[in-house]
Structure 1
Amino acid sequence: MAGKVLYTIGYGSRDFEKFLELLVRYEIKFLIDVRTSPYSKMNPPFNKENLDIKLKENKIKYVFMGDSLGGRPRDLSCYDEEGKVDYDVIKTRKFFLEGIDRLKTAYSKKIKVALMCSEGKPSDCHRSKLIGSFLHAEKIEIEHIDENGNLKDQATVINEVTKGLNTTDLFGNPTGLTSRKAYQ
């Protein structure tokens, strides 16, 4: 894909070789890890240190940004009364906006980056519901590499998340997205 675009990818049940094939196919130069905790008990090749080494061997730079763009922030005010992460609250926080600014810089320079998390399906992850929705509102093109290795644009993924339903309440106010489960 030519021009400016930011990609996202989740490793899901992929092995590292298949994951790497996708990064190469889409000519990714920087992998931005947006997991709050950059480790996987179930899939150790995706632990921070292992990723850094393996990606470097393939001329891809690893960057951890889970502290600013992760889906489970330390700031307890970002959680609702049910313990779910309230993405609308996160979008107002300095740590998040600083992370977004770094992504905007990469986008403006046409640097091929992919935001990575663990979920294979973009509709299950904060890559689409938090980061993607924020960037889409800023007119930044987002392409999600899905669980099958195909591209889906942000609008398609959000349609999957909302099941095509309106995302406004009875009075026309936007309804916010949250994490699928409670963390607090």
Structure 2
Amino acid sequence: MAEPDVEVLTVGHSTLSYESFVALLRRASITAIADVRTVPYSRHSAHFNKETLCEELRLDGIAYAFLGDELGGRPKDARLFCDGVADYEKMAATSEFARGLDRVIEGTKKYHIAMMCSEHDPLDCHRCLLVGRALHEKGIIVRHILSNGLISDHSKIEARLIQMSKSSAADLFETPENRLAAAYRSRARKVAFSQRQTPDQRKDITRRNSIGNG
């Protein structure tokens, strides 16, 4: 288990301006970004492209590291998909993922880290449903920077996840741990990368990524 004061934050860049994004980081006292996007580029906001972002953050005194190979949400191994959808539980069990977590935890010895992906809402993103969950289960304090400037503890995000899940009456007799695991699994199936996205899935992804400072 981690030391009780070890903390990692997450943030989604969405369609924020670079200035607004950095303001969020400053407010949370972030000194390093761990980029967990598999593809570290933005179709609509070029200032979040890997090379541009790395240089801009450097000029602002914020370190940058790309961890998309270890902690990204789009696996390259076909065995890490279930019915064409990225399987977060299988991904969390890989040695590459474990190495990525170790890099983040080691980095906290020197930096106050925010893991960055693109989605506005943590519950739409693997940074929360996969990586944040794994760190939380290791005893790391995980908090999520929201684009309105508020910061939410991971436990509060999990409570919202439970409320969002449509549990049957039988689920009420499950243990809290099993209900939470089922809620994670259900949400991941809805938002994880799919090899064959339906038109509705593509529209939902476009909607999520177009939300600004709401």
In structure 2, C-alpha distance between the alignment counterparts of 1:64 and 1:10, rounded to whole Å: 15
**Structure 1 residue identity aligned to 2:106:** T
Query: Match for residue 38 of structure 1?
Result: 40
Identity %: 36
Which residue matches 2:97? 96
Per-residue deviation, 1:122? 1.1
Show the counterpart of 1:105: 106
Aligned with 2:93: secondary structure? coil
**Bigger helix fraction:** 2
State the Cα distance separating 1:142 from its structure 2 match: 0.4
2:19 aligns with 17
Distance 1:57 1:131 in 2: 28
Aligned counterparts, 1:159-174, within 5 A: 159-163=159-163, 165=165, 173=178, 174=181
TM-score (norm 1): 0.89
Structure 1 pair 127–171 and aligned structure 2 pair: CA distance change class (3 A)? same
Residue number in structure 2 paired with 1:85: 86
SS at match of 2:127: helix
Using structure 2 for the length normalisation, give the TM-score: 0.77
Q: Name which one, 1 or 2, has greater alpha-carbon Rg.
A: 2
Residue 212 of structure 2 corresponds to none
> Are 1:60 and 2:62 matched, yes or no?
yes
What amino acid is aligned across from residue 103 of structure 2 in structure 1? R
C-alpha RMSD of the superposition:
2.0
SS in 1 for 2:82: coil
Distance 2:78 2:123 in 1: 24
Residue 123 (structure 1) aligned with residue 134 (structure 2) = no
- Structure 1 residues 182, 131: closer, same or farther in 2, change over 3 A? closer
Amino acid at match of 1:136: H
Give secondary structure in 2 for the equivalent of 1:12. coil
Structure 2 unaligned residues grouped into runs of 5+: 196-214
Q: Secondary structure at the match of 1:163?
A: helix
Query: SS in structure 2 opposite 1:103?
Result: helix
